[in-house]
Amino acid sequence: MAHESMMVAMNRAARAARAMERIVRRIPIALLVCVIAAGAARAQAPGIPGINAAPPGPQPKALVENPLFDFGTALEGTMVSHTFKIKNVGKGELMISGVKTSCGCTAATPNKNHLAPGEETDITVGFDTHFQKGHQIRTITAYTNDPDTPQAVMTIQGTVRQQVAAVPAQVSFGTVRKGTEVTQDVTIRDLTKGKNFSVGPVSNSNSSIKVVQVARPDHKPGALLHVTLEKTMPTGGFDDTIKVVTNRVPIQIDVFGTISGDLSVEPAQVSFGIAPKGQAVVRMIALKNNGPHDVKVLDVTSSVPTVGVSTAIVKPGREYEITVTLNPTAAEGQLRGQLTIRTDDPEQSSVTVPFYAIVGQARL
């Protein structure tokens, strides 16, 4: 019996040894598979430092000669022009796939998109100073196939000196009760101290804002504008632009404010701020009736499907609480829209409330 037990134990040990040998034989193959898989993953992961090497062969290299241009001081309304130069100081062909500017008032175009080693190209920039004032900075970015400088940045800067000014530069009526007429004055001044300064014509588009041009009471060159908010302006926010033609440069004056009725909303707009993607964010607004008659809220709708609303009665006919929810399904990026509150008030059958959010990370 002892002999049989010993034989059984020896057989078990032999089987275990053969099993371990089979495992050990597989280990190098598994390691080799892992190494090959890791190499494939690295080859398919573009843009990761230390993983992606530059393509084999001669490489291009973009060099911007004098990347900063300071134009000093320019009069408003003039065009500032400058030509930047990009040179290929590498050994491979340099390709410029596009040029982007930091402002729509700056234009830039390269005269050549493919540069052999040693070649250079011009990028001409035109900066329109209309409606600009003070210190200005604009950037121009050229996108290239240079692995070290995929974005070649150029900068144009300087100070724009105004020729004509409106004082105040904009007209804010604030919050005005419906049916009230209010007037504010704006003085048009010549800042060049030149001769024969003239103003006119003056125009605007909102029929409930009346603009009358008269001579300045101090008899100096320019004009005085009487800007009147008329009683016909409907409830809610309003804005307008007064366009003034002069023999120097044209100017624009923004006009804005809010007409309040019996119904008021607090806050006047909803900001969700920077909202984490995939999370719900809730805001509350209050609709109050300050008039003599009760008002019923018929419904509240959102212009964006991922922003939901619900309504609760706080005081029947007098006060309502509206819950505004940014749903977790909202897509990443900027989100803008408005709520529309429908009521049975004949004077304010609808009240709009704008809302805004940045879902996920802010994009600079």
Furthest-apart CA pair in the chain: how many Å?
Answer: 132
Residue 188 within any structural domain of the chain = yes
Q: How many CA atoms lie within 13 A of 158 on its CB side?
A: 21
251 lies in the same domain as 275: no
200 lies in the same domain as 126: no
Residue 5 within any structural domain of the chain = no
275 lies in the same domain as 345: yes
281 lies in the same domain as 347: yes
Which pLDDT score, from 0 to 100, does residue 139 have?
94
239 lies in the same domain as 270: no
Which pLDDT score, from 0 to 100, does residue 362 have?
54
User: Partners of 176 in the beta sheet?
Assistant: 259
Residue 315 within any structural domain of the chain = yes
User: Partners of 73 in the beta sheet?
Assistant: 159
Do the Cβ atoms of 266 and 181 come closer than 8 Å? no
Q: Pick from 135, 161, 187: which residue ends a domain?
A: 161
Residue 42 within any structural domain of the chain = no
Q: Pick from 131, 161, 191: which residue ends a domain?
A: 161
Reading the chain (364 residues) residue by residue, the pLDDT tens digits are: 444 444 444 455 445 445 444 443 444 433 333 333 334 333 333 333 333 344 678 999 999 999 999 999 999 999 999 999 999 999 999 999 999 998 766 777 788 999 999 999 999 999 999 888 899 999 999 999 999 999 999 999 999 999 999 999 999 999 999 899 999 999 999 999 888 999 989 999 999 999 999 999 999 999 999 999 999 998 888 999 999 999 999 999 999 999 988 998 999 899 999 999 999 999 999 999 998 999 999 999 999 999 999 999 999 999 999 999 999 999 999 999 999 999 999 888 999 999 999 999 755 4
Which pLDDT score, from 0 to 100, does residue 150 have?
96
271 lies in the same domain as 231: no
Residue 173 within any structural domain of the chain = yes
Which pLDDT score, from 0 to 100, does residue 12 have?
53
Tell me which DSSP letter residue 207 carries. T
Residue 338 within any structural domain of the chain = yes
CB neighbours of residue 108 within 10 Å: 21
157 lies in the same domain as 236: no
Instruction: Give the full edge-to-edge strand order of the sheet including 151-161.
Output: 68-75, 151-161, 134-144, 94-101, 114-115
155 lies in the same domain as 170: no
pTM of the model: 0.59
- The residue behind tokens 């809302």 is 355
Do the Cβ atoms of 34 and 41 come closer than 8 Å? no
Distance CA 170, CA 252 (A): 9
283 lies in the same domain as 335: yes
CATH code assigned at 344: 2.60.40.10
Distance CA 50, CA 53 (A): 7
Cα dihedral sign, 273-278-283-287: positive
Residue 104: which of 70, 135, 138 has the closest Cα?
A: 138
Supply the range of the domain harboring residue 147: 62-161
252 lies in the same domain as 267: no
93 lies in the same domain as 115: yes
| Nearest 10 degrees: Cα torsion 270, 272, 274, 275 | -160
Which pLDDT score, from 0 to 100, does residue 104 have?
67
Q: Pick from 260, 288, 316: which residue ends a domain?
A: 260
Q: What is the CA radius of gyration of the chain?
A: 35
Q: How many domains does the chain have?
A: 3
Which pLDDT score, from 0 to 100, does residue 301 have?
97
